[in-house]
Amino acid sequence: QVQFVESGGGLVQPGGSLRLSCAASRSISSIYTKAWYRQAPGKQRELVARITSGGSTNYADSVKGRFTISRDNAKNTVHLQMNSLKPEDTAVYYCNVVPSNGLYWGQGTQVTVSS
């Protein structure tokens, strides 16, 4: 059973922007810290950005200053605004809680940065 549904990915040129969205099912409480993860071909999944229920954020060094995570607890949604995208940002992006729960992985959304 899919617990998170991600959307908003696509093909974008280097330097471009995308906004990802993630909807969590009602069974996932809004009190959990939530995060965006990504997995590039041939690489392990990595945590990109996290946000607590109170709105405190933390980012991987590789995206700091370019990505912004936000959440709407009332709607149980999480967003990732990605600016100044680079080819190395190409990956499938997923959301999940922190630490991640294997039961919650959705299908993710593909982000491809290429000219």
Per-residue pLDDT of the chain (115 residues; tens, 9 = 90+): 668 999 999 999 999 999 999 998 877 777 889 999 999 999 999 999 999 999 999 999 999 999 999 999 888 899 999 999 999 999 999 999 999 988 889 999 999 999 9
Pick the closest to residue 80 from 25, 8, 31, 2 (CA basis): 8
pLDDT at position 2, please?
Answer: 60
pLDDT at position 109, please?
Answer: 98
pLDDT at position 3, please?
Answer: 84
- Residue 98's CB is within 10 A of a number of other CB atoms, namely 15
pLDDT at position 31, please?
Answer: 82
pLDDT at position 73, please?
Answer: 86
Q: What is the DSSP letter of 62?
A: T
- Residue 69's CB is within 10 A of a number of other CB atoms, namely 23
Distance, CA of 111 to CA of 26 (rounded, Å): 26
pLDDT at position 1, please?
Answer: 65
**13 and 112 Cβ atoms separated by less than 8 Å:** no
Pick the closest to residue 109 from 10, 3, 1, 2 (CA basis): 10
For 4, the token pair is 């998170």
pLDDT at position 96, please?
Answer: 95
